[in-house]
Chain A
Amino acid sequence: MLTLFIILFPFVSAAIILLSPSEYTKKLAVASGLGTIGLTLVAMGNYQSTQADKIWELNLPWIKSLGISFHVGMDGISLVMLMLSSFVTLMAVLTSLNDKFAKLPLYYALLLIMQGAMNGVFVSLDLFIYYIFWELALIPAYFLILMWGDGETRMTTIKFFLYTLMGSLFMLLGIIWLGNMGPSAGYDINTIYDLVIGKDRQLYIFMMFMFAYAIKIPIFPFHTWQPDTYTKAPVAVTIMLSGIMLKMAIYSIIRWVIPVVPLAVEVYGKYFILAAVVGILYASMIALVQKDLKRLFAYASIAHVGLITAGILTVTKTGVQGGILQMLAHGVNVVGLFYITQILRRYKGTNEITAFGGIRITAPVFAGFYMVIMFGSIALHLTNGFPGEFMLLNALYQTYPWMSLVAASGVILGAVYMLVSYQKVMSGEIPDGDGGVPALNNIDKLVFIPVILMILAAGLFPQWIMNISDGSVDKIINLYQTEVNTFLNK
């Protein structure tokens, strides 16, 4: 039942917000954010780290003839993702508190609906249900960008929507195919995991799923929807998209690709690793020449998630654990990074790097926060970026040494574009005719302080997070290894 609560809670909150008078909207949204964090903490408190099985499973038959049931539950990996989702959503809500948007109740309701759908993705144990939640998450995102986005948003949103939808339709085909592959139709995770699928069919299904994920993450060269969307979306939505939504795709690789079509991953995974790794170098180089800070962070995000994907596709313990750790780190860091662009925008109406300078003089606290977040993002040790990046690169090196060298270029380039843009925006002299950025207000601090604490805590004690997902990761890697080994022995 707890799982069901975690899915439904945001939906119910959204409904309450829509029905309540608008002066309560913000309070209710914050309360909902805190509520899901509470529920997640309850779940984690009751979770034994050695326990790899799904807990709080709920299995309600739904469409029996098609073999679809409402089957949800959580394991260690889901728990980490829920932790991320509830943290990032609360932060997204907080970042909007300073804004003066029209139709506030609808705005917050859509944010929460998005969260509920994404939580559904993280706990679904039935492929069909999973797909419904997957697509459901896209709809609020579409309206949020269209209605509250920045400037001319229609073309951007249509492109974002159609492009990701097209990918997802291929996945839907794959899902239907998988569901009908057994003796009787069934989409339940256990049925799917038990399927014995030939090598060729594995490849087709792998391609169908990975096409959807490559667009959603996005992996080079399927990334061109991302910079425009991230730049034009309201900051809270950018945070939701990059903080949680793209992690749905990476999570799905762990949950629905690696154990289901292991042979295809073993043989063809390296091409996606190659694409992701090329994307790291490519996106980092493009980030170097960006003039808009938000766009720069968008390209930096492509580089970061490329590394996560590459590491996970090595299907090693360090790679997958590092990927999970890094998903969390990336989610926390983008909250900070994109919120920085919001503060700058609030003050000058633009994110052009050259418009700023000398912010450290008038807002030293802001500069300090920015600095810590920046170092988290470029994976300085003792910040949350380091353990994950180290593990991912290590896993990649032990599997494909040359590719890891290309991936590691991000280590240097990341420092270049982050430090140079920081220098231009925060240091130097204040530009003429400019009173300087005022000190942060309380809401700003409310956003930054948890982010900073998470950056430091996850840098010092990554073990605590890894312990949660440890058993579940082992289980998935075992499934994978068993099938690959059986095939190789034949």
Chain B
Amino acid sequence: MENNILQLITILIPGLPLLGFILHYIFNDKISEKISGMHATLWVFLAFILSCTVFYSIGDKGQIQTHLFSWINTGDLNIPMAFIIDQLSSIMMLLITGVGSLIHIYSIGYMHGDKGFNRFFAYLNLFIFFMLLLVMADNYVLMFVGWEGVGLCSWLLIGFWYQNQEYNKAANKAFIMNRIGDLAMIIAMFLIFNQFGTLIIQDVISEATVPGSLHIHLGGITLLLFIAATGKSAQIPLFTWLPDAMAGPTPVSALIHAATMVTAGIYLIIRNNVLFSMTPDTMTVIMVTGIVTAIFAGSIAVKQNDIKKILAYSTVSQLGLMFFALGLGAYAAAFFHLITHAFFKALLFLGAGSIIHGLHGEQDIRKMGGLHRYMKTTHWVYFIGLLAIMAVPPFSGFFSKDGILIAAYHKSPLLWGLGLASGMLTVFYMMRSYLLVFHGDSRVEKDTMKHIHESPPVMTVPLILLSVLALLGGIINLPHIFHGNTWLQHYLTPILTEGSIHADIALEYILMGISVSAVALVSYFAYRIYIVKGAVPSENNETQGFLSQLLSSRYYVDEIYQAVIVQPFYKISAFFYNILDLKIIDGAVNGLGKLSFFISGHAKETQNGNISYYLFAMALGMGGILFLFLLF
């Protein structure tokens, strides 16, 4: 295709959702729900079609560059508004607009009747715009625009039902924790500029790879970028906002807090993988943070009773697994898991949304049970999502998780064991929630029971499409031992630094065998507890042991942050205001003022109304000043 047509297309891809947002903003009150939902979806779907054409032409062209205008250009600082699309961004664009379209369609049903319906779609469109900007940016600052922009949309959508102050608090918490990460990113940019004299991503990377070039602060740069990623991708220590972010409508949880935005941190590291590969210390930090987060969040999920909170901790845990893979240098494996996770986690969230919709807002799994009888389609798609996230072959999650485990094994069998352990936690908490929701006796409250219903086709059709993706998504990177050709890995080769692992086929079969049997074993274990014994989590926590108390209270992380950071900080601030500012600094100023009034009170005698005396004093003063000048 002609280059200038392609460039036009790359402008249209983020431009169309932005147009959708602007149109919503202008005609907010004037358009009906139907028109609002349909045209919002249309823009994203068109962007998806265009992304497909871009994806096909990347195959022969390698990359497309588009320069819009010079944004900030002064001194040696030059930041253009420009896009660059390569293999990595083209896949991200497909993911964002593809999954985005499905979630838009689903939302038409889910948000039906909400008085903020049009506003919701405006925000969703804006989100798609910023997310596209993030992955298409040619420089760090523009990437940061997208980076903070998706944070803005996240804030808007978590606090969507703004009359509830708890939701607003959750929104603010998300924004502020993300800002801590954002600050790390800003400082990373300054350091990059200091070291490389440019903020164009490609220039930085090609500069860094010049043989013999030595950049002493590279470790600092990658560490700061990683801190930025922990904010956006909810890793330890900045993960506590994501579970609270479930206050937003469920499609938001699926789109922003599972499939796209929270993966931005992983994207950031893959985008800069050349720099990261040069700094092994940072890689170790990433690996450790990743696996610790995966196990930590997974263990919390085991004791949660809110269906969305379980999925939220699951997301934190799965993202941890991706970081684990990044830390191992298995970028393609991490990206593969990012894609399959986007499919199955979006599916699970939307499935959960369908349940919540059918139960009129109920989210507590203790008040569900036996739902497979009432919501057949939802049950089946949720079941597919469940098998995918549990890594049951041949579902997509199996292949992507397997890639990570094999990479871990090549580093050390211990790491493989840890990865497997986090996988087992996943199996357990997912089975637990699945069995408690869909099987056993119904514990649904009587009033709700009367109205229980399956969701309309506008919601179930996207669910079915996503379940197809969750089932077949593994095809894109099928390993050689299944006669695949690891397409994704090959496709990303131009931008990745990793070498391919030459694995022993027998070993791979053995490792796979172990993980599959572990999945089966843990599933059976969960089945024994929740179906055979019919256990239901108790209402109060008091009777529980120490460990389960610790888990159901999420290790008290929020409480610790409050007590150690937030409260003392507010106390110091109050001290600054009440004592230092009002009493000491202002007191000193007022004191000086009073002192001068006191002195002038005594000097009043000189104000005797005698003009010649004034003139004399004036002359004396002038003389004094002149004398001073002569002196210097």
Q: Which residues of A contact B (CB under 8 A)?
A: 159, 162-163, 173, 176-177, 180, 201, 204, 221, 224-225, 282, 285-286, 288-290, 316-318, 321, 358, 360-361, 375, 380-382, 387, 390-391, 393-394, 397-398, 404-405, 408, 411-412, 415-416, 419-420, 423, 426-429, 460, 462-463, 466, 470
Contacts and interface: CB of A to CB of B under 8 A. Distances in A.
A81 B443 CA distance: 69
Given A282-B576, A423-B172, A173 B625 contact: yes
B71 A463 contact: yes
A177 B71 CA distance: 44
Interface residues on B, range: 35 or more
Given A286-B576, A420-B172, A423-B169, A397 B183 contact: no
Interface stretch (B186-194, B286-294, B495-503, B607-615): B186-194
B585 interface: yes
B86 interface: no
Given A427-B162, A466-B73, 12 more contacts: A159-B589, A180-B629, A224-B585, A288-B573, A318-B76, A381-B145, A411-B183, A411-B186, A427-B165, A428-B163, A428-B165, A462-B71
Interface stretch (B174-182, B255-263, B307-315, B362-370): B174-182
A434 to B, nearest CB: 14
A402 B573 CA distance: 22
B162 A463 contact: no
B152 interface: yes
B547 to A, nearest CB: 35
Contact of B586 (A224, A380, A412): A224
Interface in B116-148: 141, 144-145, 148
Given A405-B187, A415-B175, A427-B159, A225 B182 contact: no
B92 to A, nearest CB: 20
Contacts of B23: none
Contacts of A390: 72, 141, 186
11 contacts: A177-B632, A224-B589, A225-B589, A285-B577, A288-B570, A381-B144, A404-B190, A411-B183, A427-B168, A463-B71, A466-B73
A285 B72 contact: no
Contacts of A426: 162
Contacts of B576: 282, 285-286
B14 to A, nearest CB: 13
Interface of B: 69-77, 141, 144-145, 148-149, 152, 155, 159, 162-165, 168-169, 171-172, 175-176, 179-180, 182-183, 186-187, 189-191, 193-194, 569-570, 572-574, 576-577, 581, 585-586, 589-590, 593, 625, 628-629, 632
B562 to A, nearest CB: 14
Contacts of A393: 186, 190
Contacts of A225: 589
Nearest to B629: A180
Contact of A428 (B71, B162, B183): B162
Given A180-B629, A221-B585, A321 B74 contact: yes
Contact of A466 (B74, B190, B593, B629): B74
B148 A380 contact: yes
Shortest beta-carbon contacts, A-B, top 4:
A317-B75, A224-B586, A397-B190, A285-B573
Given A419-B172, A427-B168, A398 B163 contact: no
A429 B76 CA distance: 50
Contact of B183 (A163, A286, A412): A412
Contacts of B189: 394
B72 A462 contact: yes
Contacts of A380: 148, 152
Contact of A201 (B163, B164, B632): B632
A103 to B, nearest CB: 29
Contact of B176 (A173, A415, A462): A415
A426 B569 CA distance: 25
**By CB atoms of chain B within 10 A, which of A286, A394, A470 has the most?**
A394
B70 A463 contact: yes
A408 B75 contact: no
Contacts of A381: 144-145, 148-149
A408 B186 contact: yes
A381 B187 CA distance: 15
Given A162-B593, A177-B632, A398 B190 contact: yes
Contacts of B593: 159, 162-163
B132 to A, nearest CB: 14
Given A180-B629, A390-B141, A463 B183 contact: no
Given A221-B585, A411-B186, A415-B175, A391 B193 contact: no
Contacts of B190: 393-394, 397-398, 404
B629 to A, nearest CB: 5
A163 B592 CA distance: 10
Nearest to B632: A201
A86 B628 CA distance: 41
Contacts of A408: 183, 186-187
A380 B625 CA distance: 51
A426 B163 CA distance: 9
A319 B112 CA distance: 51
A382 B134 CA distance: 13
Contacts of A462: 71-72
B163 A427 contact: yes
A309 B144 CA distance: 25
A81 B382 CA distance: 61
Contacts of B183: 408, 411-412
Contacts of B75: 316-318, 321
A361 B593 CA distance: 48
A183 B96 CA distance: 72
B525 to A, nearest CB: 44
A26 B442 CA distance: 71
B31 to A, nearest CB: 16
A398 B141 contact: no
Given A285-B573, A428-B168, A387 B589 contact: no
A177 to B, nearest CB: 6
Nearest to B151: A380
A218 to B, nearest CB: 11
Contacts of A317: 74-76
Contacts of B164: 428
B62 to A, nearest CB: 29
A460 B70 CA distance: 10
A460 B569 CA distance: 35
A413 B285 CA distance: 27
A289 B169 CA distance: 17
A375 B77 contact: no
Contacts of B589: 159, 163, 224-225
Given A201-B632, A375-B152, A289 B144 contact: no
**By CB atoms of chain B within 10 A, which of A224, A381, A387, A390 has the most?**
A381
Given A285-B572, A289-B577, A428-B162, A412 B180 contact: yes
A138 B29 CA distance: 47
A428 B165 CA distance: 5
Contacts of A415: 175-176, 179
